[in-house]
Amino acid sequence: MKMILKTLSLVALLLPVVTFAEKSAEALAKAAQNPIANMISLPLQNNTNLNIGPNDETQNILNVQPVWPFELNEDWNVITRTIIPVTSQPDIFTPANDGRINGIGDVSFSAFISPKVSDITWGVGPIFLLPTASNDALGSDKWAAGISAVALAMPGKWVVGGLISNIWSFAGSGTADINLFTLQPFINYNFEGGWYATTAPIITANWEADTDHRWTVPLGGGVGKIFKIGQQPINAQLSLYNNVVTPDDFGAQWQVRAQIQFLFPK
């Protein structure tokens, strides 16, 4: 009997710890799913675009996306987000089908001004595209700028919101002007143990292109999990998307997105 009582007492002591750990994992998952969370993070997002063109070629883009927040004052934060694309491009995108090209694409930088306290999390700010491509086939050779905004809510186990932007070119030696619209709605549902279901399609419209080459609209989703290696929290995610609308002749039919995000909560 004493042994049973001791065992029950030990279980009672451990239960709050387990519950706290589960709540911490869910809170960290929600922060990782918030594009403007007040948390330093380093997402490495790999997008493999499949079945491009008549020869069903493959494009791979690894986006290195450091997120760094700053405190503007006691009421506002500034969350900066940089996207550095490391690209492997099939010959269908090269000027004369002259073989596969690998290198760095054009870097984008955005800065969201966001209130520290608000019923709905939101942010707005400028976005810039820098002509940093290591090869002309990997970039536009144009400077571009625009505006970006994000809003989201976290009711219960859900994280629901969207990110929207439009950029326009204003300088550079590239021959094609840039007028690019991007919309990324996202819906996440968080389970126990750090697991979650997600959908976050990236919808784009190139307003400079003809109607048949303008829109990319994916549908799909995937799963993710928050876990730790040692003391380092990590967010891992795997998704599959089908482009139900894609530019004629050179648009990808499928996209596989795999992401590892290193989290540095305060």
Query: What is the domain-level CATH number for residue 143?
Result: 2.40.160.40
Average pLDDT on 113-135 reads 96
- Tokens 């001004």 locate to 113
pLDDT above 50 for 69: yes
- How many domains does the chain fold into? 1
Q: Cα angle at 257 between 159 and 40, to 5 degrees?
A: 55
10 Å CB burial of residue 212 (0-12, 13-18, 19+) is exposed
pLDDT bracket for residue 37 (50, 70, 90): very high
Q: What is the pLDDT of residue 252?
A: 94
Q: How many other CB atoms sit within 10 Å of the CB of residue 85? A: 21
pLDDT for position 22: 47
Q: Which domain holds residue 76?
A: 2-264
Q: What is the mean pLDDT of residues 111-129?
A: 96
- Is the confidence at residue 93, as pLDDT, over 80? no
Q: What's the pLDDT at 23?
A: 47
CA-to-CA distance for 192 and 98, rounded, in angstroms?
50
CA 245 to CA 74: how far, in whole Å? 45
Residue 58 pLDDT > 90, yes or no? yes
